[in-house]
Structure 1
Amino acid sequence: MHAVTQPLLRFGVIADPQYAAVEPNLVLGRYYANSLTKLAEAIETFNAEDLAFVVTLGDIIDRDWQSFDAILPLYDRLRHPRHFLLGNHDFRVEPERLDDVFARVGMPGPYQTFAAAGFRFVLLDGNEVSLFAPPPGDPRLAVAERWIETLKSQGADNAQPWNAALGDEQFAWLEAELRKAEAAGEQVVVMGHYPVYPPNAHNMWDSERIVDLFCRFETVAAYFCGHNHDGNYGIVDGTHFVNIKGMVETPDTTAYAIVEIHADRLEIRGYGRETDRTLGLTTVRPRLAASASR
């Protein structure tokens, strides 16, 4: 039993609303237009809670630039700060609009970091090397072609055109942020659109190097993602990998969560299809403090 404690902070999390004003895909079980109602319900729940922020883990829309015009105003009802990641479907817009997607959702940059309550939050751009996000003629498209062809030659399950990878510069930035957090005694929560663990057809093309990087830093408490609408969970060397279920699935059952961060654990309160979880944390700050005092 865990002691009854007040959380250090709470935040709301949504994955894959994937809104579009189109008929549902009954084969895949995706009800795109219904996400407006589900999102409005989630925002009402979030507004009744004391949250530090709300994050959407990508695939805000399913397709079409005008879909942003319908769904983004709902977020204006939030009384909390909001953060967006982008997913593969957010780039299913006209080619001339691809460079404008980040600005359309108000993101300060493709990837970012911020601190709260002794934790460092790192938000990744998992679409950087992909077959869909870079505009025509961008050299990243050729890099993406090489990535996926190499994976296909290896028979990899995640050799899918709707997955992607981090660019080397962003990967180096991620490592640098983890080093800074370690030096500051901060535990880290990383967020991305794409899963990296457990192995799955939806995982990033470079999932193995990302997991290996996390394993080098015991400060990485958790990685949250979407993309795989069924959800998933795994743990490697004390880092929790939490795949939030897709809101777009089913005609009327939602999926979102409120995460409470305590000194010794994460408490995930799931709504609708999302799973409740209690995930233990390895406390790193006392060890760092002790090493600094020697």
Structure 2
Amino acid sequence: MSSADLPLFRFGIIADPQYAALEPQVEMGRYYANGLAKVGAAIETFNGEELSFVMTLGDIIDRDFKSFDDILPVYDAMHHEAFFLLGNHDFGVAPEHLEKVVERVGMPAPYYSFRRHGFRFIALNGNEVSTFAPPKDHPHRALGRERLAALRAAGADNAHEWNASLSDEQFAWLAGEIEQAKAAGEKVIVMNHFPVYPPCEHDMWDRERIVELLSSQENVVAYLNGHNHVGNYGKVAGCHFVNFKGVVDTESENTFAIIDVHADRMEIRGFGREDSRTLNY
């Protein structure tokens, strides 16, 4: 491989381990306890490569705050920086633990950004306005009920309480981050638990405004997510939307990816059930 063919950097992706110390629900394709071994196996592969970081796209656990005590130590074996964002199942904890999840996972904030080699990565908190993540009396929970009711009244395919949305404040922050990246000459990769495109029943409630924003900005090259365990892919204008498959769905076959980032493209190398793709920009 000539130096011109070498990527600028590489990173790892894994989605929806959804670990819990539970018997499998075979009819649903949920092998909760097997997440420990599968995440461990993925980390072994990641450790064999030079990676800038590894991102877990949410649903680290399926339920119970104490599930974090089993799965987070598995990541201690990783030789690379581990980043997390949160999914709906990460809030399947007792009410008194809802506000402790971000800190327990070691995240710097519920949503945040970081830079690598001329790229800005934006990690969203897709659960912010929902019926499950905000504390019981928080205005975001009431707003979540309102947004869900409006979508149900409109017959929307994504009107489910296991989906969620961004606050207007976080949406404005996202737009601001993209503008700052543009001023700095950076390309942007957005990461979230929930899909927004192609349209499906697992999408963010506010998918339209997110797709509109990302597809209208020339420096936004990709949106990476989990949540819809079967995976998906679409493109709007110059933005690629990649939905990674869920680890929890199979008894033993794994699914994760390593992404080689070049100046003009990303090469997704899928492992196990994950698809390999080339995303040109």
TM-score, scaled to structure 2: 0.98
**Residue in 2 aligned with 1:292?**
none
Aligned length, in residue pairs: 279
**Residue in 1 aligned with 2:71?**
71
> How far apart are the structure 2 equivalents of 1:208 and 1:4?
38
Matched to 1:26, the amino acid is V
Displacement of 1:101 in angstroms is: 0.2
- Matched position secondary structure for 2:24: coil
> How far apart are the structure 2 equivalents of 1:206 and 1:98?
23
Displacement of 1:264 in angstroms is: 1.0
**Residue in 1 aligned with 2:178?**
178
> How far apart are the structure 1 equivalents of 2:240 and 2:65?
34
Stretches of structure 1 that go unaligned for 5 or more consecutive residues are 282-294
Work out whether 1:100 is the aligned partner of 2:100. Answer: yes
> How far apart are the structure 2 equivalents of 1:202 and 1:51?
30
Matched to 1:92, the amino acid is G
- Matched position secondary structure for 2:148: helix
- Matched position secondary structure for 2:23: coil
> How far apart are the structure 2 equivalents of 1:195 and 1:216?
18
Displacement of 1:4 in angstroms is: 5.9
> How far apart are the structure 2 equivalents of 1:259 and 1:268?
5
Displacement of 1:216 in angstroms is: 2.0
Matched to 2:251, the amino acid is P
For residues 1-294 of structure 1, what are the structure 2 equivalents within 5 Å?
Answer: 5-281=5-281
Stretches of structure 2 that go unaligned for 5 or more consecutive residues are none
- Matched position secondary structure for 2:266: strand
8 Å CA contact retained: 2:216, 2:237? no
Matched to 1:197, the amino acid is Y
- Equivalent pairs: percent with the same residue? 60
> How far apart are the structure 2 equivalents of 1:191 and 1:235?
15
> How far apart are the structure 2 equivalents of 1:105 and 1:140?
22
CA RMSD of aligned residues (A): 0.9
Runs of 4+ in 1 over 3 A off after TM superposition: none
> How far apart are the structure 2 equivalents of 1:89 and 1:47?
27
Displacement of 1:75 in angstroms is: 0.5
- Matched position secondary structure for 1:76: helix
